[in-house]
Amino acid sequence: MDNSTITAAVLGLLEGLTEFLPVSSTGHLLLAGHFLGFESKGRTFEVVIQLGAILALTSVYAAMVTQLFLRARHDDAARRAIMSILLAFLPAVVVGLLAHDFIKTVLFETPMLIAIMLILGGFVLLVIDRIAPAPRYHDALALPLGKSLAIGLCQCLAMVPGVSRSGATIVGALLMGVEKRAAAEFSFLLSLPTMGAAVAYDLFKSRDVLDFGAVWDIAVGFAVAFVTALLVVRWVLNYISRHGYALFGWWRIIVGTAALAALSLGY
């Protein structure tokens, strides 16, 4: 196994481990790529392996989502749940379309910013895990539409790499009285349209510079991301229900501090 394949497997592992945790998969991937000297033309590798994580999440929630749409023909609660997720998705569409080029060409190329956001986000998670108000909403599919839209606005903060899409949505939900497990589950469901649209738009915008030459490495990263994300999604909800988010806050602080130290030393 050559070095490029090992690097692809490591990055796929990072993607699968971190995509659905509030630790910023994009931040981890970009920092790892920086320190490993890895770069793919048009970010083809990073974009495509995200599809592995999306596919893993889709397979876990396929039955729930299918039933939801089937029920929507005659069930007001199901229609409201679908509207809730779509409403939360809307702000990301607007901000993503307006700021895509700035995000990709400026923010994604600033490792120091990513490290700082990892650290700050870690402290936010630690604080919110302790001071979040008592939960009033325990069902991810029955949130008030106003709360869903507010969570969607929080998701836009994750346009800054290192913030974390799931972290921003979960913190926003916790502050609005959503129970810890329900907050994570709503974040997962919201990620289906958000990540799907983001990957599709990235591929479209970068279509002229995409490089699929390293097909084997992309396949390895995709497969590792899929399997790892599948295991993480099945585990994380039970873990959060019992232990909350402190572990992920410390994880962010440790990784961000290590990256900041390495960057300060010129690596």
Q: Which residue has the higher pLDDT, 144 or 36?
A: 144
Backbone angles phi, psi at 137, to 5 degrees: -120, 120
Q: Is the dihedral of CA 204, 208, 209, 211 positive or negative?
A: positive
The answer, yes or no, to whether residue 213 has pLDDT greater than 70, is no
Which residue, 173, 179, 196, is CA-closest to 89? 196
Contact 250, 126 (CB under 8 A): yes
CB within 8 Å of 39: residues ≥ 6 apart: 33
Q: Is 207 exposed, middle or buried (0-12, 13-18, 19+ CB in 10 A)?
A: exposed
Q: Is the dihedral of CA 218, 226, 91, 21 positive or negative?
A: negative
Please provide the DSSP assignment of 237-259 as one string.
Answer: HHHHHHHTTHHHHHHHHHHHHHH
Q: What is the pLDDT of residues 44-93, one digit of tens each?
A: 777 788 889 999 999 999 999 999 999 999 999 999 999 999 999 999 99
Rounded Cα distance between 130 and 135, Å, is: 13
Rounded Cα distance between 142 and 162, Å, is: 30
The answer, yes or no, to whether residue 121 has pLDDT greater than 90, is yes
Left (φ > 0), alpha (ψ -120 to 50) or beta: where does 193 sit?
Answer: alpha
DSSP code of residue 110? -
Rounded Cα distance between 136 and 152, Å, is: 19
Mean pLDDT, the chain, rounded, equals: 88
Give the pLDDT band of residue 139 (cuts 50, 70, 90).
very high
> Token pair of 169, please?
């949505």
Q: What pLDDT is recorded for position 106?
A: 65
Rounded Cα distance between 162 and 167, Å, is: 10
